Amino acid sequence: MLRRFSPLLVLFAFAACNHTTTSVVTRISAPANLTYDLRPSGDPNAPAGIRLTWDAVPDQDLAVYNVYSSATGTGTFDLRGSTTSTTFD
């Protein structure tokens, strides 16, 4: 089951691979086409997990995708993990 994922519930942060002491900030665009797939558990009301999938960001300075989530659209976001892939389980 593939669905579009609400941008309020998942945020991505990007780490640039080049660290310098200058104050120049490069903006990296967010990935496009974020979708999710629920992992079946046998109980349709309690999936075993979720897999996020997105299009790669075509930027040479991108080193890693940091995935954040929140239980609510207005809550604080916590880091769930990092990946160099365009999927996250």
Per-residue pLDDT of the chain (89 residues; tens, 9 = 90+): 444 444 434 544 444 444 444 455 567 788 889 999 988 898 878 889 899 999 998 888 888 999 988 888 888 889 999 999 999 99
Indicate the burial class of 54 (C-beta count within 10 angstroms; 0-12, 13-18, 19 or more): buried
On whether the pTM is more than 0.95, the answer is no
Close Cβ partners of 28 (under 8 Å, ≥ 6 residues apart): 14, 16, 57, 59, 61, 62
Burial 6-19 (b: 16+ CB within 10 A, else e): eeeebebebeeeee
